[in-house]
C-alpha cells in the first residue's frame, strides 16, 4: 500500500450503546443475543470487539450500521439514535461480495453511483482505489484478483463513501496468514489518516491487540461485556512487544482460554 498523506476527511463518529439487548425468535422461541450492553467509543477511536463465536458480535455491528433495531436500549451515533443505514456508517464483511461482472473500478463506484454522485465525484473512486493500494487494477475483474486484493476492493467500496464510522466484521478472517499480517498494517494506516472511528470484530486476540486502542471482551451468548483492555502502545506495533504478550495472556484468560 502506498504511503498515505493526510487528506481532508470528516471527523470520526461518537458511538454509544445504552442498555442494548437484542433477542431473535428461533423456532418460535426467544433467543437472547445481546444482554444490556453499554459501550462508549470516542470519535476517532479504534476499538476491537473480541468474543466467542456466536456470542452476538455481528449482531452488534448490524445495529450500529442501522440494519436492525435493538429489542431494548439505545444505539446512538453522535448522540443521535441510529435511524437506519447510511453511507457515513459502513460495514465491511469477511466475504468481499463483489459483483463478478463489474470491474474493480465499477465495484468501488457502486456507492456513489447509487447516490447519483458518480458523475461529479468520480475522483473519489480513484482516491479509494489508491488508498487500498490497487492502482493499476482498475479494470480487473474479481476473478482476476487474489483474496487479499478482493478484500481491498471491498474496503475501497466502503471508503469511497468517506465514512465516519467503519464497522469491520472479521474483514481479514478468510485471508491467508501472510496477507492477513500485511493487511493489519494497512488497516492501521487507513485509520491513522484520521476522520474515522473504527470498530473491529475479530476472534483473533493478537489481531485485536495489534490494531486497537481498546479491546472489549464479550461473554458467550447472550453477549455481555466482561472486560476491557486498554492497549496503550504506539503504532506500528510488534507482536513480540512484552507488553502485548502480557495483554494477550490476560485476554486469553478473560476469554477462559488459558488458566
Ligand atoms: N436474524 C436472526 N434470527 C435469528 N437468530 C439470529 C439472527 N441473527 C443472528 N442470530 C443468532 O444470534 C447469535 C449471534 O450471532 P452473531 O451476532 O452472528 O454472532 P458472532 O458474530 O458473535 O459470531 C447466533 O446464535 C445466531 O444464530
Ligand atoms: Mg460474526
Cα 216 to averaged position of ligand 2 atoms, centre (Å): 15
User: Which ligand lies nearest the alpha carbon of 57?
Assistant: 1
Q: How far apart are CA 140 and CA 136, in angstroms?
A: 9
- Phi and psi at 24, nearest 5°, equal -110, 165
Beta bridge partners of 22: 34
**Quick check: CB of 26 below 6 Å from ligand 1?**
yes
pLDDT tens, residue by residue, 13-56:
999 999 999 999 999 999 999 999 999 999 999 999 999 999 99
Protein residue with least CA distance to atom 14, ligand 1: 56
Q: 198: which residues sit within 8 A by CB, 6+ positions away?
A: 12, 45, 46, 47, 165, 166, 168, 187, 191, 212
Q: How many residues make up the chain in this entry?
A: 259
Looking at residue 86, the DSSP 8-state letter turns out to be: B
The stretches in the chain having pLDDT less than 70 are: 1-10, 259
pTM for the whole structure: 0.93
pLDDT tens, residue by residue, 242-259:
999 999 999 999 998 875
Pocket test for ligand 1, best of 52, 54, 167 (most atoms within 8 A of CB): 54
pLDDT at 83: 94
Q: How far apart are CA 160 and CA 131, in angstroms?
A: 10
Report which of 52, 60, 58 is spatially closest to residue 252, judged by C-alpha positions: 52
pLDDT at 66: 97
User: Which ligand lies nearest the alpha carbon of 33?
Assistant: 1
**Quick check: CB of 219 below 6 Å from ligand 1?**
no
Q: Among all chains, which residue has been given the C-alpha cell 466475504? A: 95
**Quick check: CB of 59 below 6 Å from ligand 1?**
yes
Cα 39 to averaged position of ligand 1 atoms, centre (Å): 20
Q: How far apart are CA 157 and CA 175, in angstroms?
A: 18
Q: How far apart are CA 225 and CA 109, in angstroms?
A: 37
**Quick check: CB of 24 below 6 Å from ligand 1?**
yes
Q: How far apart are CA 197 and CA 52, in angstroms?
A: 23
Q: Would you call 2 exposed, middle or buried from its count of C-beta atoms within 10 A (0-12, 13-18, 19+)?
A: exposed
Q: Among all chains, which residue has been given the C-alpha cell 453511507? A: 87
C-alpha R_g of the chain: 18
pLDDT at 259: 57
C-alpha cell of residue 145: 484478483
User: Which ligand lies nearest the alpha carbon of 22?
Assistant: 1
Q: Is 216 helix (H, G, I), strand (E, B) or coil?
A: strand
What are the distances in angstroms from CA 55 to CA 50, 202, 222? 10, 12, 6
Cα 56 to averaged position of ligand 2 atoms, centre (Å): 7
Q: How far apart are CA 48 and CA 29, in angstroms?
A: 31
Amino acid at each position: 500500500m502506498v504511503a498515505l498523506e493526510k487528506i481532508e476527511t470528516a471527523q470520526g463518529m461518537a458511538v454509544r450503546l445504552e442498555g442494548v439487548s437484542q433477542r431473535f425468535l428461533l423456532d418460535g422461541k426467544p433467543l437472547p443475543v445481546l444482554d444490556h450492553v453499554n459501550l462508549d467509543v470516542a470519535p476517532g477511536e479504534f476499538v476491537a470487539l473480541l468474543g466467542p463465536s456466536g456470542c452476538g458480535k455481528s449482531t452488534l455491528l448490524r445495529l450500529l450500521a442501522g440494519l436492525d433495531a435493538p429489542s431494548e436500549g439505545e444505539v446512538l451515533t453522535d448522540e443521535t439514535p441510529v435511524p437506519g443505514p447510511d453511507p457515513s456508517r459502513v460495514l465491511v464483511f469477511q466475504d468481499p461480495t463483489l459483483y463478478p461482472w463489474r470491474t474493480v473500478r465499477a465495484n468501488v463506484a457502486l456507492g456513489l453511483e447509487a447516490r447519483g454522485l458518480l458523475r461529479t465525484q468520480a475522483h473519489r473512486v480513484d482516491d479509494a482505489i489508491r488508498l487500498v493500494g490497487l492502482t493499476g487494477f482498475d479494470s480487473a475483474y474479481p476473478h482476476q484478483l487474489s483474496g487479499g486484493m478482493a478484500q481491498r476492493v471491498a474496503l475501497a467500496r466502503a471508503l469511497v463513501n468517506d465514512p465516519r464510522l467503519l464497522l469491520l466484521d472479521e474483514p481479514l478472517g478468510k485471508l491467508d496468514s501472510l496477507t492477513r499480517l500485511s493487511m493489519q498494517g494497512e488497516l492501521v494506516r487507513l485509520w491513522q489518516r484520521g476522520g474515522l472511528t473504527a470498530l473491529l470484530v475479530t476472534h483473533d486476540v493478537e489481531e485485536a491487540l495489534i490494531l486497537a486502542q481498546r479491546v472489549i471482551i464479550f461473554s458467550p451468548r447472550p453477549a455481555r461485556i466482561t472486560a476491557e483492555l486498554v492497549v496503550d502502545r504506539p503504532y506500528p506495533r510488534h507482536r513480540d512487544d512484552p507488553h502485548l504478550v502480557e495483554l494477550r495472556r490476560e485476554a486469553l484468560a478473560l476469554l477462559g482460554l488459558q488458566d
